[in-house]
Structure 1
Amino acid sequence: MEGRSAGLRQYYVGVSTVDAKLTTLVELLQALRVDTRLALAVACSSRDAVDAVVHALASCSGFNIAVLHADLEMHEVEQQLLQIKRRLQPPPAVSEGMQPAADEATRLGQQHEQQQQQQQQAAAAGPTPAAAPNQPTAAAAAVQRDTASTTAAAAAVAAGPGLAAAADDGRSLVLVASDACLKGLPRDLLPLGLPLLIQYDLPASKDVLSRRIGAVFGSSKERGRRAGRQVVIYFVAAGEVAAFRARERLSSAPVMEMPVHVPDIFT
């Protein structure tokens, strides 16, 4: 029986101590890179854990690293999210008349930036005068912008990245994020659409678990529409078994032990 919850395939990796998680993470990602080109998120409970993971991955070759933590300004967070979406390659085959996922992600980013600029300009200009005949009101224009943004986001979600790769250099894309930062991400730039989430630290609550999964994979309906495997891996240290079992009970199916051949998680 596969460990599935709302379209997700779930696994756990046992580690001897909390300190051993870093070594295990690097070994796991290197094993996956042998057979696949990766794009994934690593969820951490603290800024210290984020810094440790980033330092460990930066010392290895083959990883493009993006970082999200609570000390970043919102415009820096938005820039990181947009760069992640742009670095995800579209599916190999694109049907005639459909835009590649990367193009949709770029369009979504441009619309998000335009919306931010328009809001700033509107705030600086003060009350909006009455619209001239046959001219759209500010409210109508906002509705049009929101509709266009929703359409672009839906297209990107429907296309899905599959086992997306980092951009042209062929290195794996790894997003390392803290829970504090995930809590305030702009909704119009979510979900990220990454195929793999590593729970480096166990989520502290059901809300934290839901927030991590929602940011990476989207809602259950969005996950159902996306092609390709969507995988969650939990790191469980020896002293965390009870907490892990408590989180496992929040899922509709058990979490499976990691297979010997790691890339099998995507088959």
Structure 2
Amino acid sequence: MDSMEAPSPPFQSPSRSSQQLHFYLAVDRPQFKMETVVELLGVLGRRPWLPIVVCCSSRDELDAVCSSLSTLPYISLAALYSDLADRERTMVIEKFRQATINWNQQLNSVVEEVLEESETRKEENKSHLVVVTDVCLPLLSSGESSLSARVLINYELPTKKETYTRRITTCLASGGIIINMVVGGEVTTLKSLEESSGIIIAEMPINISEIL
């Protein structure tokens, strides 16, 4: 993530798919991926109410991500996994839905007022993050709503177009931002996704928070 602190190069907007922006964030080695995500969310997570989803391929991956992100004090963290009770699952989705409403309705003046309010009020205005595995994505066909996040982070880059598309459909709002974590040899997978999906996945800009 040292590159996030370097001088910003001229930004070239990537192609849009339903007005959604596709980016990749390259990591040299797998062991640096978690550290990179924590640092990234250390930047994004400070935005009041910002709704973020992190998609994982497995439960072990989800547990590791939740453990690492649980120490960030300005993020309200929840998870969707296979043995979560139906009632709790509904509560997680509903709370996140409310966060997306707050994000969409906020105005600059409102944000400034919120930042000056009491600690109790600030607790309610944390950014909201849901970590979910592929098998537990919202079931739109069963009546569940899309999470409609502003930012979707693919912690593990999907190898199939269908998985990539389903994550976006069930997790991301129109006009949202996708950030794909890419490690070493996954460049080939990234290019394959671009070709099969008809999109361009651009390198993530240094100042990602400026395009939220």
TM-score bin, normalised by smaller chain: 0.7 to 0.9
Percentage of matched positions with identical amino acids: 29
CA offset at residue 184 of structure 1?
4.3
- Residue 183 of structure 2 corresponds to 237
- Residue 27 of structure 2 corresponds to 15
- Residue 207 of structure 1 corresponds to 162
One-letter code aligned to 2:151:
L
One-letter code aligned to 1:46:
S
- Residue 57 of structure 1 corresponds to 69
Question: Is residue 146–residue 169 contact of structure 2 (8 Å, CA) maintained in 1?
Answer: yes
Larger Rg: 1
2:206 is equivalent to residue 260 of structure 1: yes
CA shift in 2, pair 1:238/1:251, >3 Å: same
- Residue 7 of structure 2 corresponds to none
CA shift in 2, pair 1:67/1:56, >3 Å: same
Secondary structure of the residue aligned to 2:136 is helix
Q: TM-score, normalised by structure 2?
A: 0.77
Secondary structure of the residue aligned to 1:176 is strand
- Residue 97 of structure 2 corresponds to 85
Secondary structure of the residue aligned to 1:192 is coil
- Residue 136 of structure 2 corresponds to 181
Indicate the larger mover: 6-15 or 204-213: 204-213
One-letter code aligned to 1:71:
D
Partner Cα separation in structure 1 for residue 192 and residue 163 of structure 2: 14
Q: How many residues align?
A: 185
- Equivalent positions of 1:83-122 (< 5 A) are 83-88=95-100, 89=102, 91-92=105-106
Question: Is residue 5–residue 251 contact of structure 1 (8 Å, CA) maintained in 2?
Answer: no
- Residue 251 of structure 1 corresponds to 197
Secondary structure of the residue aligned to 1:195 is strand
CA offset at residue 50 of structure 1?
0.4
CA offset at residue 244 of structure 1?
1.6
- Residue 39 of structure 1 corresponds to 51
Secondary structure of the residue aligned to 1:235 is strand
Question: Is residue 3–residue 11 contact of structure 1 (8 Å, CA) maintained in 2?
Answer: no
Q: TM-score, normalised by structure 1?
A: 0.63
Question: Is residue 77–residue 185 contact of structure 1 (8 Å, CA) maintained in 2?
Answer: no
CA shift in 2, pair 1:45/1:167, >3 Å: farther
One-letter code aligned to 1:48:
D
CA offset at residue 3 of structure 1?
3.1
RMSD: 2.4
2:22 is equivalent to residue 67 of structure 1: no
Secondary structure of the residue aligned to 2:128 is strand
**For 1:39-65, what per-residue CA distance to the aligned partner results, in whole angstroms no more than 9, with x for missing partners?**
110000010110011000112221110
Task: Flag structure 2 segments of 5+ consecutive residues without an equivalent.
Answer: 1-12, 108-120
Question: Is residue 37–residue 170 contact of structure 1 (8 Å, CA) maintained in 2?
Answer: yes
CA offset at residue 19 of structure 1?
1.9
**For 1:42-92, what per-residue CA distance to the aligned partner results, in whole angstroms no more than 9, with x for missing partners?**
000010110011000112221110100112233332222112113331513
Question: Is residue 161–residue 193 contact of structure 2 (8 Å, CA) maintained in 1?
Answer: yes
Question: Is residue 4–residue 255 contact of structure 1 (8 Å, CA) maintained in 2?
Answer: no
Partner Cα separation in structure 2 for residue 234 and residue 203 of structure 1: 9
